[in-house]
Amino acid sequence: MKTGKKPAGDAAVPGDEKKAALRELTGQPDGGLALIESEERYRRLLESARDGILLLDFDTGQITGVNPYMTELLGYSKEDFIGKHLWEVGPFKDIASAKADFLQLKARGYIRYSDMPLETKVGKKAPVEFVSNVYQSGGSKVIQCNIRDISERKTAEAARSETEAKYRTLFEQAHDSILLLELPEKGEPLIVDGNAKTLRLYGYSREELLGKSVSILNENPDFSRSIMEKKLDIRGAGGD
């Protein structure tokens, strides 16, 4: 008796239906479909990446692809990039070595700049990390450039440098003699730094003191002994 239903083993699954539809639309065998699906996954990754990404033709250096975050980062449209050489696009025009770097990239397959100064379309500074690689795609070479915004890192570094400079000034201008010491596991403490008052008091230059035993500052053995006792007290308080 015929029921009009296919046996369970013959039932089409969604993946099979998708492949069948793709075969009909593209005329590609399953191997070609796998390539199409792989390229589709790569396209989705490209579009969702939180780094700016440019794809360049290996032979000409012309830009063939740009992801949404790249346009968001620098304020240029997709049309501002596509079909142009990297060194012809606004943000990269002022990078004097851009064209030479492209030739170097072709020869070496990799190039990286930890801090490349770019500008947005409206003239705002945009420090970036620039990494470019050559890879194979479908039997041909492609160049991928990853551009990462490092403005927050640069701001944090500037704040840290400002804080260090402020405390360095306090250290140097102090009216008291101040020594910074390293406490090795064995032996006497070593001088890491001394402020201006220390240098004037003992008559040494900073270079003459750095790395020396603290005992160099006093011929009285009680001086060095008291420092050693304080060292032991510090280690004991730390549980060593």
Q: What is the pLDDT of residues 83-131, one digit of tens each?
A: 998 888 887 876 657 778 888 888 899 999 999 989 899 989 899 999 9
Instruction: From the options 3.40.50.300, 3.30.450.20, 3.40.50.970, 3.30.930.10, give the CATH code of 14-151.
Output: 3.30.450.20
The distance in angstroms from the start CA to the end CA of the chain is 87
DSSP state of 82: T
Note the pLDDT tens digit of each residue in 153-173.
999 999 999 999 999 999 999
**How is the chain split into domains, by residue range?**
14-151, 174-237
CA 228 to the chain's CA centroid: 43
**Average predicted confidence (pLDDT) for the chain:** 78
- From residue 123, alpha-carbon distances to 71, 120, 135, 221 in Å are 14, 5, 33, 65
Residue 220, pLDDT score = 46
Residue 216, pLDDT score = 83
pLDDT for residue 12 is more than 50: no
- Could you give the angle at the alpha carbon of 89 between the alpha carbons of 86 and 94, nearest 5°? 90
Q: Is-contact 128 139, C-beta < 8 A? A: no
Q: Is-contact 53 67, C-beta < 8 A? A: yes
pLDDT for residue 235 is more than 70: no
Q: Is-contact 171 195, C-beta < 8 A? A: yes
Grouping H, G, I as helix, E, B as strand and the rest as coil, residue 9 is helix
Residue 94, pLDDT score = 64
pLDDT for residue 186 is more than 70: yes
Grouping H, G, I as helix, E, B as strand and the rest as coil, residue 116 is strand
Residue 175, pLDDT score = 93
Grouping H, G, I as helix, E, B as strand and the rest as coil, residue 89 is coil
Residues 6+ apart with CB under 8 A from 174: 195, 197
Q: Is-contact 54 70, C-beta < 8 A? A: yes
- Any idea which of 24-33, 123-132, 139-148, 230-239 has the lowest mean pLDDT? 24-33
Q: Which residue has the higher pLDDT, 56 or 99?
A: 56
Q: Is-contact 201 177, C-beta < 8 A? A: yes
